[in-house]
Amino acid sequence: MFLEERHAQILEMLAKDGKVLVKELAEKFGVTEDSIRKDLSSLEMDGKLRRTYGGAVSIAEKLQMTEANRRRISDVEAKRTVAAAAVKLMQPQDLIFLDISTISIAAAQILEKSDSNYKILTNMVDVLVMLARNPKIELFFAGGLINRSRDGFSDGLNLEFISRFRPDVAFIGAYGVDIKKNSLTSRDTAGGIHKARMIEISKTSYVIAESRKIGVESTYSFAKVSDVTGIITEGKLSDDLTAAAEKLGVRIIAAE
């Protein structure tokens, strides 16, 4: 059976039952459970399902189509490219923070298959679910009051807990990265406060953002571009933006 045919049958089962289990799919198709997990991972990145522990559910089962899901299915290749570059900066001996970001999901998909003993701190549900499957990863999760539209936790209780850590490296999502205005912005104030705090307490920090967010400004300014170590994006920035970043002492990683 071709891979595309297996994916089509998995989606048919989801449409009928609303959920599928890795073990049952492996038995049905006569493949390994790891192969099925890869299938579900690929289908999730395409926005066709949502993975859960031990299987997957129809997106329709998860509050129909949340804002987090809509973000997930946009600029998929750009997110994967940025995520791969971020993972290259991770060292197993470091404590690594993964912010609420769809790029963090793409990074978690890479780390989920890793044989290295990473230490990860996160406040995003999808990242937790993926990395909990890898017994070699030491995983810290910061909970609290869930923000369903963001697929994570960014309330006061979460902030109090997460502030006790001192990450070696933090990867921070942003809605807008305006290098010339020296401004990092978000649409969510609570999330912005968390992002600012993680930048403050981490030894190094990188903004992870698709190139379409460069030069964009949103409603809440949570930090300055000069507060972070670098910006990871896909593709090369213009010479004037690169020069502006250099003046701020910020490293640009163009992950082409």
Residue 225 DSSP one-character state = G
Q: How do the domains of the chain map onto residue ranges?
A: 3-62, 71-254
Report if pTM > 0.85.
no
pLDDT in tens, 178-209: 999 999 999 889 899 999 999 999 999 999 99
CATH number of 71-254: 3.40.50.1360
Nearest CA among 45, 61, 67 for reference residue 148: 67
Give pLDDT, residue 67: 53
List the chain residues with pLDDT less than 70.
Answer: 59-75, 149
**In a 10 Å sphere around its CB, with 0-12 CB exposed, 13-18 middle and 19+ buried, how is residue 89 labelled?**
middle
Give pLDDT, residue 62: 47
Q: Which CATH architecture has domain 3-62?
A: Orthogonal Bundle (1.10)
Distance CA 37, CA 231 (A): 31
Distance CA 174, CA 224 (A): 11
Fold equal for 3-62 and 71-254: no
